Structure 1
Amino acid sequence: MSTLQISLAIVGGLVLAGVVAYNAWVTSRNAPRTAREQPGPEAPAAVTNREDDPPLNDHPVAGEPGDDERIDPVFQDAPVSAVRVREEARAIPAVAVTLNHVVSTPEKKPGLDALIDVIAPLQLEGEVSGEALLAALPGTRRVGSKPFAVEASIDEGGDWESPRPGQRYRALQVGVQLANRAGALNDIEFSEFVVKAQAFADAVGAMPDFPDMRGEVARARELDAFASGHDAQLGFTLRARRAAWSPGYVSQNAARFGFVAGVLPGRMVLPGSLAGQAPILSLAFDPQAAMAEDPEQSALREVALSLEVTHVPRSEQPFVRMRQAATALAEAMDGVITDDAGQMLSTDTMDAIGSDLEGLYDALDSHDLSAGSPQARRLFS
């Protein structure tokens, strides 16, 4: 073999080795970051609260809202894709991956309230047992798209509760919710309520006293109109700048800032400070990636951070904490904060959203439907 051939062979080998090394470097660079890449022990300064700010959270999860619809807000100063209106609601994918599921404290179901329910008293001739009431309950607790409820009281004018075995009751009432995210109670649903309530009353020997249908349906429309204009959920999207993230990497970083596993794959929540309170924030990513055979090899380019405005008490300062969490996670995972269209969210835009939220909270308070109250959570569900 000539010297030229040997030289060409050496050069060819070096080129081939270089190509292989380059491809290996590109593959390594583009591989999703995994939980094995331990972040530093200190949380980024972005999540450090002032003395008058609430901590991001260190409480156990206390339950999640039953509806994960994402609602675009009505705030006009923010990008449409960052805040959506009620009519464009769509489901957010949900659950957690590497963290153990957290057992929630059972939440006491809120009772009927004349503010958001049609209530019909049932007159009894004497006492009736809890067992008899339970046996007479209808098979479904819904009237059309609205919740239907039966409540009983041991004494006239006493506290109301759902019927329980071993109790004897002297007063009964039935009710149906006036409005929810499915709309206002209509004539057909009111008629269905009357039929269902009458059948229950007949079964327990009671006499119902129904309110006027026209008045209640009109009240339902008025309540629904208010709810439609004040129902909002905020959403930020965290996008990876360079390397993608694995589900475990996202979970590991989110857990450092107080998030815990949700009940569905691809969902984590920041719990409220009180038992029975809705989560303050939700963090969601692709559930298919979370359920993959090897989640650490799944690549996530974005995660969604959302706030159900009407479900979280104002006292929790949820939007302040949402901004803190988004900033901290973006810094920790080398990401950016955008709207759904990929547009960067500026500080001015976030300030405008926060200002508009204060007006929304004031409007809810003035209608006795304060954010996070049982009535608000039922109405906006």
Structure 2
Amino acid sequence: MSPLQVSLVALGGLTVVGVVAYNYWTSRKSSPRLPEPLSEPTHTLEPLLDLSGATEPVLDEDFANLPQPERKPLLDALIDVISTIEVDQPVSGDAALAALPSTRRVGTKLFTVEGCSQLSGEWEAIVPGQRYSAFQAGVQLANRMGALNDIEFSEFVVKTQAFADAVGGTATFSDMLEEVARARELDQFANAHDAQLSVTLCARDAAWSPGYIQQHAARLGFIAGSIPGRMVLPGAVPGLPPVLSLAFDMQAALAEDPALSAVREFSLSLDVPQTAREDQPFDRLRQAARLLAQSMDGVVTDGRGQVLVDEALDDIAHDLERLYSALDQRELSAGLPQTRRLFS
């Protein structure tokens, strides 16, 4: 073999090695980042609970079944049409429960019946073993599906009358036209003061695997949600809505081998009326977004690819303060049970 042939063979070998090395580097660069070995968390969002292995509780559709601090009555004339039901003699909780309709909805609105305890004289959710000297039935005036309409009011009357007949009571109803008009006004207020905010974190370079996202979010106190691709930062009271939600591609989370799924963005969101102002949910959203962007080599955007700078986030914070004040003036402060029902 001539020296020229030897040189060409050597050059060809170097080229092959170079191509293989480049392909390997490109493959590694484009592969999603995987979870790191377990280590002590470097950041936390306060306040946090001991949530090792915890998952988001699955909430019942019926808000009345949610844990209610202090067991306060659910019905409120501020957001409900309320019908009183008088009875000639006390009725057992078992009999009252048996008389309730099979569904606790009137159209898209929550239908609720409460009893006046014979022992305490307080209104409460009906429970077995108690006796009640009166009842009241109510239907929400509005929610995020819209205002109570004539048909829904009529259905409310039918369901309430059926319950009253079953317990031997007499129901009293308010004027339909007045209540429907009140529902429209409340719905207009709610539409003007509703806010669900979100920011999007985008990968600067290499994509993330679902496990990589979950690991970094868990270090900030997020726990697994009830559906794939969702995590939540729980509030201080179990059973109530989370402070923040994190969501990424469900298909990536459901992949046969999630480690091979490449996720290039995920969102952090906040449902403003659902969380109390004093919990500072927007400040915690900003903090979570900043820490995750730093630790995961990401950038915080508005979902349309525009980077969110501190000045823009400050403007949002100021707008939120005005919204919180408007809710307070209407006696529908963010995080109250009535407010959560109205904005649901």
TM-score range, shorter chain: over 0.9
The whole-number CA distance in structure 1 between the counterparts of 2:243 and 2:32 is 28
The correspondence for 1:236, drawn from 176, 199, 202, is 199
The correspondence for 2:227, drawn from 252, 264, 275, is 264
The correspondence for 1:376, drawn from 307, 330, 339, is 339
Aligned residues: 335
Query: Does residue 354 in structure 1 map to residue 317 in structure 2?
Result: yes
The whole-number CA distance in structure 1 between the counterparts of 2:41 and 2:238 is 29
Question: 2:63 aligns to what?
Answer: none
Query: Does residue 182 in structure 1 map to residue 134 in structure 2?
Result: no
The correspondence for 1:101, drawn from 55, 68, 71, is 55
Counterpart AA for 2:181:
A
Normalising by structure 1, what TM-score?
Answer: 0.83
- Show structure 2 runs of 5+ residues with no match: 60-65
- Which shows bigger deviation, 122-131 or 266-275? 266-275
Q: CA deviation at 1:248?
A: 0.9
Secondary structure of the corresponding residue to residue 9 of structure 1:
helix
The whole-number CA distance in structure 2 between the counterparts of 1:307 and 1:315 is 14
- Which shows bigger deviation, 273-282 or 166-175? 273-282
Secondary structure of the corresponding residue to residue 134 of structure 1:
helix
Question: 1:145 aligns to what?
Answer: 108
Q: How do residues 246-325 of structure 1 correspond to structure 2 at under 5 angstroms?
A: 246-325=209-288
- Show structure 1 runs of 5+ residues with no match: 48-54, 62-97
The whole-number CA distance in structure 1 between the counterparts of 2:83 and 2:304 is 48
Question: 1:162 aligns to what?
Answer: 125
Q: Over residues 99-155 of structure 1, what are the superposed CA-to-partner deviations in whole Å (9 max), with x where a residue is unaligned?
A: 653558962386111100000001101111111111111111111110111111123
The correspondence for 1:56, drawn from 43, 46, 54, is 46
Counterpart AA for 1:101:
T
Q: Over residues 238-267 of structure 1, what are the superposed CA-to-partner deviations in whole Å (9 max), with x where a residue is unaligned?
A: 000001111111111111112112111111
Q: How do residues 328-347 of structure 1 correspond to structure 2 at under 5 angstroms?
A: 328-347=291-310
The whole-number CA distance in structure 2 between the counterparts of 1:246 and 1:57 is 28
Question: 2:29 aligns to what?
Answer: 29
Contact 1:281 1:306 in 2 (8 A): yes
Runs of 4+ in 1 over 4 A off after TM superposition: 37-41, 102-106
- Relative contact order, CA 8 A, sep 6+: which one is greater? 1
Q: CA deviation at 1:274?
A: 3.0
Contact 2:57 2:239 in 1 (8 A): no
Contact 1:277 1:372 in 2 (8 A): no
Secondary structure of the corresponding residue to residue 56 of structure 1:
coil
Q: Over residues 66-87 of structure 1, what are the superposed CA-to-partner deviations in whole Å (9 max), with x where a residue is unaligned?
A: xxxxxxxxxxxxxxxxxxxxxx
The whole-number CA distance in structure 1 between the counterparts of 2:327 and 2:184 is 17
Q: CA deviation at 1:27?
A: 0.5
RMSD: 2.1
Secondary structure of the corresponding residue to residue 164 of structure 2:
helix
